């Protein structure tokens, strides 16, 4: 038995999936019936999880998506399943927001979109990340 508190944790590691486990192919879109009429669409979840790429410990947070569609809308069930694929993925909070933005823009080709991640406190420090896209 070791005399140093914490020794048993130094080699402890949880399974962490690579970012390639994210399933952007699950995203589905549907026709926006009013192309040319701009509306703001907002989706959010406060139950987003991914994991720290180094420790495997969970990161919890809210993901907030707002966009102005052009011709396509994101289908909500597919968005939920897509976000669930991050559950065991080791990814930095700053990167996950950009990856979600890029995947959603590729899927629905909006006029503009913003994704914000508001991650829970860890060690007294929270993280809020925003990424935006505007079609040229």
CATH code for the domain in which residue 58 is found = 3.30.1130.10
Indicate the burial class of 23 (C-beta count within 10 angstroms; 0-12, 13-18, 19 or more): middle
Domain contains 65: yes
Domain contains 48: yes
Q: What pLDDT, on the 0 to 100 scale, is given for residue 15?
A: 77
CB 90 within 8 A of CB 56: yes
CA 88 to chain centre: 12
What's the rounded Cα separation, in Å, for the pair 62 and 53?
19
Domain of residue 118 covers 15-134
Domain contains 3: no
User: Global pTM?
Assistant: 0.89
- Tens of pLDDT, residue by residue over 6-18, are 666 667 667 788 9
- Residues (pLDDT < 70) of the chain are 1-10, 12-13
Quote the tokens at residue 48: 């987003």
Q: Which residues contact 122 (CB under 8 A, 6 or more apart)?
A: 59
Where in the sequence numbering do the catalytic residues fall? 52, 59
Domain contains 1: no
Q: What pLDDT, on the 0 to 100 scale, is given for residue 57?
A: 86
Q: What pLDDT, on the 0 to 100 scale, is given for residue 2?
A: 53
Split into its structural domains, the chain has a count of: 1
Q: Which residues contact 52 (CB under 8 A, 6 or more apart)?
A: 58, 59, 90
């Amino acid at each position: 038995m070791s005399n140093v508190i914490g020794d048993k944790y130094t080699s402890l590691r949880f399974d962490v999936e690579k970012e390639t486990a994210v399933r952007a192919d699950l995203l589905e879109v549907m026709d926006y019936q009013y192309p040319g009429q701009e509306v703001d669409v907002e989706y959010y979840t406060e139950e987003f999880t991914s994991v720290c790429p180094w420790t495997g410990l969970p990161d919890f947070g809210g993901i907030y998506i707002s966009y102005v569609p052009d011709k396509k809308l994101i289908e909500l069930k597919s968005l939920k399943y897509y976000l669930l694929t991050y559950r065991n993925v080791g990814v930095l909070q700053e990167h996950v927001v950009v990856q979600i933005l890029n995947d959603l823009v590729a899927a629905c080709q909006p006029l503009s979109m913003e994704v914000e991640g508001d991650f829970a406190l860890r060690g007294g420090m929270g993280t809020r990340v925003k990424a935006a896209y505007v079609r040229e």
